[in-house]
Amino acid sequence: MNKKLNLRKASPWLSAIGLFVLWELIVRIFNIPPYVLPTPSESIIVGWQFHEAIWMHATHTLYTTLVGFAIAVVFGVVLGALVGSSRTIYDAANPLLVGFNSVPKVALVPVLVMWFGIGTVPAIITAFMISFFPIVVNVATGLATLEPELRDVLRSLGATRKDILIKVGFPRAMPYFFASLKVAITLAFVGSVISETVASNVGVGYLMLSASSKFNMPLVFAGLLVIAVMGIAMYEIFNVIERRSTKWANRANPTN
């Protein structure tokens, strides 16, 4: 029993180490040149050599990501609440939202650059644009799937729409909301890095672009690893917040 639990706790580390070992072996066995695919050990060593630059760029990427994400949360909750509580607004907004979400955000970066210049602002906006959609959809779903009987119980007590939203709608939508945050934060990283790659002189995306133009592939991969680590860290933070705040929804597997 205890052994099983220990194995479960160790499993994410084991799988990560396993992947790196496999990667290392493949590169060495097939003698792949480092400008095509560097080994992970080489990437980590180079990453350490450049750690000051990486730290500066990474904190900037983290900053633009979090600002874009924060805007997405506020916007997503408000729009999700509107869409989820009114059938008419849902019908009106749905095709626009789906259409907007289908547009590749990288195609919008040049437009943003025309409006705001290169750098931080387009990165924040791209992070926002790419990450608000799952929040809207999940909040709206949480609100719209209220049991009709419960609605009847509340309405026959004289509850207003606002009462129903506050007493039942929002608490009920919480698990959906937190689940969407985990998706949205990783998407926000995608957004800010895309924008940095296309139009910026700061951030991990820019670092990777300039490293690849100098054929410094180990540094490119070091940048990728940094983004992945930041993504995992943020995901885990929201995972913990989710489990703490909506225990009732995770009752089926309390150890999870």
**Number of chain residues interacting with another protein (CB under 8 A):** 21
Decide: 77 and 139 in contact? Cβ < 8 Å: yes
Rg (alpha carbons) of the chain, rounded to whole number: 22
169 near another protein, judged by CB under 8 A: no
Query: Which residue stretch of 7-15, 108-116, 156-164, 232-240 sits at the interface with another protein (rule: CB under 8 A)?
Result: 156-164
Among candidate residues 232, 230, 229, 225, the one with its CA nearest the CA of residue 39: 225
Pick between residue 169 and residue 205 the one whose CB is nearest to another protein: 169
* Contact call for residue 154 and another protein (CB under 8 A): yes
Minimum separation from the CB atom of position 154 to another protein (A):
7
Q: Which of 97, 163, 202, 225: binder of another protein (CB under 8 A)?
A: 163
The nearest distance, CB 239 to another protein, in angstroms, is 19
CA distances, 18 to each of 11, 24, 40, 229 (Å): 10, 10, 12, 16
**For residues 125-135, b (16+ Cβ closer than 10 Å) or e, as one string?**
bbbbbbbbbbb
Residues 181 to 200: which contact another protein by CB under 8 A?
none
Q: By CB neighbour count within 10 A (0-12 exposed, 13-18 middle, 19+ buried), where does 249 fall?
A: middle
- Please, what is the minimum distance in Å from the beta carbon of residue 249 to another protein? 7
The yes or no reply on residue 244 touching another protein (CB under 8 A) is: no
Token pair recorded at residue 164: 């129903």
Q: Which is nearer to another protein, 60 or 172 (CB)?
A: 172
Binding another protein (rule: CB under 8 A), the pick from 147, 201, 233, 240 is: 147
3-class secondary-structure state, position 108 = coil
Distance, CA of 46 to chain centre? 27
CA 99 from centre of chain: 20
To another protein, the closest distance from the beta carbon of 171 in angstroms equals: 5
Residue 135, both tokens: 């929040």
Does residue 102 bind another protein (CB under 8 A)? no
Pick 154 or 225: Cβ nearer another protein: 154
What is the DSSP secondary structure assignment for residue 203, as one 8-state letter? S
| Interface ranges with another protein (CB under 8 A) | 147, 149-150, 152-159, 163, 167-168, 171-172, 174, 246, 248-249, 251
